[in-house]
Copies of this chain bind each other. A is one copy, B any other.
Amino acid sequence: MIIESAELFAEQDLFPFFKEMDETPAKYDGKGSVTTHPQLKKIIQFAAEQHWIGGSASFENGGLQLPEMIFNTGHHLFQAANNGVQGYLGLSSGAAGLITSFGSKEQITTYVPKIFSGEWQGTMALTEPQAGSSLTDIITTATPTNNGYYLVKGQKIFISGGQHDACDNFVHLTLARIEGAPAGIKGISLFIIPKFRHETNGNLVYNDVYCVGDFQKMGQRGYSTTHLSFGDNNDCHGFLLGEPHKGLGYMFQMMNGARISVGQCAASVAMAAYQASLQYAMERPQGRLPNEKDPSQPPTLIINHADVQRMLFTQKAIVEGSLSLAMECNRLYDLTNACETEERDTYFQLLEILTPIVKTYASEQGTRSAALAIQTLGGYGFTTDFPVQQHYRDLKIMSLYEGTTGIQSIDLLGRKVTMHNGKALQVLGKTIQETLQKASDHPILQPYSLMLDAEWKRLENVLSHLQKYLVNGDTGRYLADACIFMEMAGYTVIGWQWLKQASAAADILANKDFSTFPAAFLQGKIHTMEFFFTYELPHAAACETILLQNKSLTQVQTPDIFAY
């Protein structure tokens, strides 16, 4: 029922404005705010009423206690229908979650209900012009006062959903450095900074947070990206969230959720492009099969061309594989909330190691997938008459949001693989082994089960090669090819998800109960798994070849080697 209501909302209120919001981008009004499409305010209000901002929160905090799996399945539909709009909702949801986790009772009651009602927009304010991805170098300052608040001063850029005309107030969760704090990431604190703050009499007054401009983008043009200036008049009150100097750790609760959400969003947008190209391929007659060249015969539908099927199966393999992994992450998130102690730790470690992978695989391969959607439509795909080019443009930001592919890859190889003596990797290996065992029950899946087993060993082989650099203290060389390692891990993990899907499909096919899933759908799952293992997985071996070489070609000390 809940997912059906999400589907209706996506179809009726989001998708019809997808193109329009691209053609009339959110735009800075020159006066401290961003003008958005008139439909946005209605969408946010309707989403709030239907609990699509606060639905996964607890009853006591005004939510429905929806599992993340269900809540994010709804959001998947919004992302597929109109990904920019979903950003506004997702940000508010994440910001409220962060306040709920680490805020005081008073902070929760002040901000969370207003965010859940859609009146106020939550944002995350990390990036600064001079620091970029390097949060170590954040210089926004917070000066303590005797009145319980801090005076904040600084610049933040790339703030999605920053001050716009579809909400009344904004709650910026902002990283800043308390005066005298240690240098580096150990001196970063997290502040709640509303655009309008409550005075002691309860009135709202302007809090000296000014939107000084926006960024126009090649995609997600309906989604505002702003530059915020805090404390130009020395009157920006920041309210410390949790304890001082622990801000980055807190922020990473929201950041990790956002990374999974970006991965899921990339999968969803690529899914929309895939489905648009599939529909086109099933309706468009053109050309003839190689053995049937008689020009007096009518042309065939393009879906009958092998190369078009290759493009469609590649898309299906990428988008359903990515979405499956995103849902796996949502499930693990629910399990970490539902379980305790050791069991919880296991799920949490698995979630930790999968987070950079889902974010990166879905965004990098999703972009490739959307390129194939364009290619399936031929010249038409490049025109604004069809949505696939918008999907393609929108998708490119997913490999940049919330830590670029480079950052995610260093997170995977430099932190997640090594943490707790490699415990997370062991848990992942064990979980994959369980899937392999289960798949082996079905004779048709056995060869693929063996292939995936070999892929896992390949990954371990590469790691033991790379760890030699670590042992020698050469972290630079260890991490130099982190992106290639990420690419390889992505193929392996998505192979696991496909084997899992194929195994479930084979179970149902064996039981011959087609009441929920038609046989063609199940056969399609097995076929696409075979396609993934045959056409995509071989590139993991190429990554291995690259990772096993001993040269240091990307650590050149003389940039003039790039001379042209």
Query: Does A16 sit within 8 A of B, measured CB to CB?
Result: no
Query: What sequence of 0s and 1s flags, for each residue 114-135 of chain A, a beta carbon within 8 Å of any chain B beta carbon?
Result: 0000000000000100111110
Which of B219, B284, B379 sits near A382, CB closer than 8 Å? Answer: B219
Query: What sequence of 0s and 1s flags, for each residue 544-560 of chain A, a beta carbon within 8 Å of any chain B beta carbon?
Result: 01100101011110111
Query: Does A12 sit within 8 A of B, measured CB to CB?
Result: no
Query: Does A312 sit within 8 A of B, measured CB to CB?
Result: yes
B393 touches A381 (CB 8 A): no
With the chains together, A75 CA to B373 CA distance in Å? 31
B183 touches A476 (CB 8 A): no
Query: Does A518 sit within 8 A of B, measured CB to CB?
Result: yes
With the chains together, A300 CA to B558 CA distance in Å? 14
B545 touches A375 (CB 8 A): no
Closest-by-CB residue of B relative to A310 is B554
The residues of B that contact A131 with a CB separation of less than 8 Å are: 286
The residues of B that contact A375 with a CB separation of less than 8 Å are: 399-400, 404-406
Which of B216, B278, B296 sits near A562, CB closer than 8 Å? Answer: B278
B521 touches A475 (CB 8 A): no
Contact A520 to B561, CB < 8 A, known contacts A218-B382, A382-B217, A392-B396: yes
The residues of B that contact A59 with a CB separation of less than 8 Å are: none
A564 touches B521 (CB 8 A): yes
Query: Does A215 sit within 8 A of B, measured CB to CB?
Result: yes
Query: Does A374 sit within 8 A of B, measured CB to CB?
Result: yes
Query: Does A450 sit within 8 A of B, measured CB to CB?
Result: no
Q: How close is A10's CB to chain B, nearest CB, in angstroms? A: 15
Q: How large is the interface on A (under 10, 10 to 19, 20 to 34, 35 or more residues)?
A: 35 or more
A383 touches B215 (CB 8 A): yes
Task: Scan residues 152-184 of chain A and give those whose CB is less than 8 A from a CB of chain B.
Answer: 157-158, 183-184
The residues of B that contact A371 with a CB separation of less than 8 Å are: 367, 396, 399
Query: What sequence of 0s and 1s flags, for each residue 311-344 of chain A, a beta carbon within 8 Å of any chain B beta carbon?
Result: 1110010001000000000000000000000000
A534 touches B520 (CB 8 A): no
Contact A553 to B534, CB < 8 A, known contacts A134-B286, A378-B404: yes
B553 touches A542 (CB 8 A): no
Task: Scan residues 278-302 of chain A and give those whose CB is less than 8 A from a CB of chain B.
Answer: 278, 282, 284-291, 295-296, 299, 301
Query: Does A136 sit within 8 A of B, measured CB to CB?
Result: yes
Q: How close is A370's CB to chain B, nearest CB, in angstroms? A: 10
Which of B136, B158, B541 sits near A541, CB closer than 8 Å? Answer: B541
With the chains together, A190 CA to B475 CA distance in Å? 64
With the chains together, A314 CA to B340 CA distance in Å? 46
- Looking at A133, A304, A535, the one whose CB has the most chain B CB atoms below 10 A away is A535
Closest-by-CB residue of B relative to A558 is B520
Contact A282 to B524, CB < 8 A, known contacts A383-B215, A549-B534, A554-B307: no
Query: Does A468 sit within 8 A of B, measured CB to CB?
Result: no
Binds B, one of A83-91, A94-102, A480-488: A480-488
A282 touches B559 (CB 8 A): yes
Interface of A is mostly: helix
With the chains together, A22 CA to B218 CA distance in Å? 11
Query: Does A523 sit within 8 A of B, measured CB to CB?
Result: yes
Closest-by-CB residue of B relative to A289 is B476
Which of B306, B379, B523, B530 sits near A480, CB closer than 8 Å? Answer: B306
The residues of B that contact A285 with a CB separation of less than 8 Å are: 130
The residues of B that contact A306 with a CB separation of less than 8 Å are: 476, 479-481, 554-555
Query: Does A531 sit within 8 A of B, measured CB to CB?
Result: yes
- Looking at A288, A310, A476, A562, the one whose CB has the most chain B CB atoms below 10 A away is A562
Contact A518 to B563, CB < 8 A, known contacts A183-B295, A286-B133: yes
Which of B130, B215, B481, B520 sits near A560, CB closer than 8 Å? Answer: B520
With the chains together, A131 CA to B556 CA distance in Å? 52
Q: How close is A288's CB to chain B, nearest CB, in angstroms? A: 8
Q: How close is A386's CB to chain B, nearest CB, in angstroms? A: 10
With the chains together, A382 CA to B551 CA distance in Å? 32
Q: How close is A192's CB to chain B, nearest CB, in angstroms? A: 24
Which of B137, B303, B527, B530 sits near A299, CB closer than 8 Å? Answer: B137
With the chains together, A539 CA to B473 CA distance in Å? 30
Query: Does A389 sit within 8 A of B, measured CB to CB?
Result: yes
Residue pairs across A and B with Cβ atoms less than 8 A apart, 11 shown, are: A132-B286, A132-B287, A137-B286, A215-B383, A218-B393, A219-B382, A306-B481, A307-B406, A381-B400, A392-B396, A524-B563
A-B pairs, top 3 by smallest CB distance, nearest first, are A184-B295, A306-B480, A218-B389
List 10 extra interface pairs beyond A185-B295, A308-B406, CB under 8 A: A137-B299, A183-B296, A290-B478, A291-B475, A312-B562, A520-B560, A520-B561, A523-B561, A524-B564, A541-B545
Listed in ascending order, the chain A residues whose CB lies under 8 Å from chain B are 127, 130-134, 136-137, 157-158, 183-185, 215-219, 225, 275, 278, 282, 284-291, 295-296, 299, 301, 303-313, 316, 320, 367, 371, 374-375, 378-379, 381-385, 389-390, 392-393, 396-397, 399-400, 404-406, 409-410, 414, 473-476, 478-484, 518, 520-521, 523-524, 527, 530-531, 534-535, 538-539, 541-543, 545-546, 549, 551, 553-556, 558-564
